[in-house]
């Protein structure tokens, strides 16, 4: 194989514009492969089989008897974590890209499939295959938007790569797992991040314009678990804006596409290891899901600080408030203009009393479950029986949301 042939290979936004049109699509890349019809079986928005894929990947479905599995999916361990030496440019401390660097350093994989920033627009994700560990730094950081990650699977295989690692968000990893057996790789390592409230890069630029007079100077943005948005600037400056003070009423009603409002896999349950921040109380949050995930984490043994995740507060009132607001918004009230998951925080939560650590992560997962049900019920009720797996109903039941006739998915496991 000739790695050099492909080192600079990227897919650029002009290609993105020509993606086949599909409703409920985040352009994960399958529709751009030689067999675009595989979307029918690979897409989490068409006919997902969460139970079947959890069993395929982890050897078992999430267990309602195991604490937190109903919320976060099958796992072996959870940690609060940071790299001892945080990497510049990383979204948090850089655990995600550091694991991939190690896989390349050890020659465990031939290439890493991930996103880097578009050379013209730093917020636009562009898929890339990286074969040298020192090039992983180009991938660090979060971009907002969709890009066809999986369209580089066939080129990777054609170049002779046998073992690959993939870093992706849940809708990309779902499709990858659905196709995995047919792809022809010897081994695939999946490093997932959670994902929520994504939108197009164009929409995101509108948001940046609203929150700062110099949006082009912003180099970093994160919604933190301390109820602030952190902004970093080219000058080196840092600003934290409390959620309460975000000027969000100006956002258009369709700011978040229906895909991301009805996406039921917040924690990337089909990855070998999930690396996020929601349960991390200011640090990162790691979920190892199987033996491979444990091995990936072990690569950083000397470089990482691992702690037991904390949990404090009570989510119930926050989630009830959220549900009320989503219901009101569905009636067309002005509330609809604020991102759904911020509303309960605005109306009820304050940083010092709200859910923290794992309780914060549970809060967000339950909010996403409720949001998925209510938005689909209002906008595409005929898809509910295909898109809402039974474990989502189990989470929603605590908030008086039960499946109506015709809404229940067949064969997605028992209602625990």
Q: Could you list the residues that contact ligand SF4 (CB under 6 A)?
A: 22, 25-28, 30-31, 39, 42-43, 45, 169-171, 175, 195-196, 198, 259-260, 263
Say whether residue 196 binds ligand FAD (CB under 6 A).
yes
- Smallest distance from ligand FAD to CB 119, Å: 15
Query: At a CB cut-off of 8 Å and minimum separation 6, what does 72 contact?
Result: 78, 267, 269, 287, 361, 365
Q: Interface mask (CB under 6 A) for ligand FAD, residues 63-92, using x and -?
A: ---------------------------xxx
**Residue 371: CB minimum distance to ligand SF4, A:** 10
Nearer CB in complex with ligand FAD: 169/246: 169
Minimal distance, residue 62 CB to ligand FAD, in Å: 18
Helix axes 358-379, 316-330, angle to 10 degrees: 20
Return the one option of ligand SF4, ligand FAD, none that residue 81 interacts with (CB less than 5 to 8 A, by type). Answer: none
139 counts as binding ligand FAD under rule CB under 6 A: yes
145 binds, among ligand FAD, ligand SF4, none (CB under 5 to 8 A by kind): ligand FAD
Any contact of residue 194 with ligand FAD (CB under 6 A)?
yes
| Whole-angstrom distance, CA of residue 144 vs CA of residue 204 | 7
Residue number, 196 or 412, with CB nearest to ligand FAD: 196
Specify whether the CB–CB gap between 40 and 46 falls below 8 A: yes
Tokens, residue 159: 């170049």
Q: Does 270 bind ligand FAD (CB under 6 A)?
A: no
Quote the CA–CA distance of 86 and 92 in Å, as a whole number: 8
Residues in CB range of 43: below 8 A, 6 or more apart: 25, 28, 30, 174, 175, 178
- Contact predicate 374/326, CB 8 Å: yes
**Residues 200, 206, 212, 213, CA torsion sign:** positive
Through-space distance between the first and last CA atoms of the chain, rounded to whole angstroms: 49
- Which residue lies nearest ligand FAD, judged by its C-beta? 276
Smallest gap from Cβ 34 to ligand SF4, in A, equals: 13
315 alpha-carbon distance from chain centroid: 21
Single residue of 133, 198, 262, 288 touching ligand FAD by CB under 6 A: 198
Q: Are 167 and 140 in contact (CB under 8 A)?
A: no
Q: Which does 114 bind (CB under 5 to 8 A by kind): ligand SF4, ligand FAD, none?
A: ligand FAD
Residues 270/171, Cβ–Cβ less than 8 Å: no
Cβ 385 to ligand FAD shortest distance, Å: 27
Under the rule (CB under 6 A), what is the footprint of ligand FAD? Answer: 90-97, 114-115, 125, 139-145, 167-169, 193-196, 198, 275-278, 284
């Amino acid at each position: 194989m000739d790695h050099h042939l492909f080192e600079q290979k990227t897919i650029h936004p002009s290609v993105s514009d020509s993606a086949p049109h599909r409703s409920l699509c985040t352009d994960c890349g399958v529709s751009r492969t030689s067999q675009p019809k595989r979307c029918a079986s690979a897409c989490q928005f068409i006919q997902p089989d969460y139970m079947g894929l959890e069993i395929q990947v982890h050897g078992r479905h999430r267990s309602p008897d195991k604490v937190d599995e109903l919320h976060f999916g099958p796992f072996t361990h959870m940690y609060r974590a940071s790299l001892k030496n945080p990497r510049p440019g990383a979204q948090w401390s850089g655990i995600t890209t550091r694991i991939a660097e190690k896989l390349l350093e050890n020659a465990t994989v031939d290439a890493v499939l991930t996103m880097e920033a578009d050379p013209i627009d730093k917020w636009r994700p562009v898929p890339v295959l990286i074969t040298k560990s020192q090039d992983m730094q180009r991938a660090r950081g979060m971009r907002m938007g969709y890009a066809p990650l999986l369209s580089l699977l066939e080129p990777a295989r054609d170049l002779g790569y046998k073992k690959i690692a993939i870093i992706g968000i849940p809708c990309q990893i779902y499709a990858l797992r659905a196709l995995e057996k047919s792809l022809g790789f010897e081994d695939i390592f999946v490093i997932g991040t959670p994902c929520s409230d994504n939108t197009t890069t164009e929409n995101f630029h509108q948001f940046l314009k609203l929150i700062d007079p110099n949006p082009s100077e912003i180099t970093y943005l994160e919604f933190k678990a301390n109820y602030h948005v952190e902004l970093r600037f080219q000058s080196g400056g840092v600003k934290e804006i409390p959620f309460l003070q975000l000027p969000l009423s100006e956002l258009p009603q369709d700011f978040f596409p229906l895909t991301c409002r009805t996406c039921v896999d917040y924690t990337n349950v089909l990855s070998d290891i999930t690396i996020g921040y929601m349960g991390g109380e200011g640090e990162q949050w790691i979920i190892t899901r199987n033996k491979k995930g444990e091995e990936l984490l072990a690569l950083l043994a000397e470089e990482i600080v691992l702690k037991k995740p904390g949990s404090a507060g009570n989510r119930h009132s926050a989630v009830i408030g959220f549900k009320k607001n989503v219901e009101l918004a569905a009636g067309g009230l002005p509330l609809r203009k604020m991102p759904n998951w911020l509303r309960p925080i605005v109306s009820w939560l304050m940083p010092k009393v709200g859910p923290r650590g794992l309780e914060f992560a549970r809060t967000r997962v339950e909010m996403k479950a409720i949001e998925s049900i209510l938005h689909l019920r209002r906008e595409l009720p005929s898809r509910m029986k295909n898109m809402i797996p039974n474990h989502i109903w189990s989470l929603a039941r605590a908030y008086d949301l039960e499946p109506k006739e015709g809404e229940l998915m067949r064969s997605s496991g028992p209602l625990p």
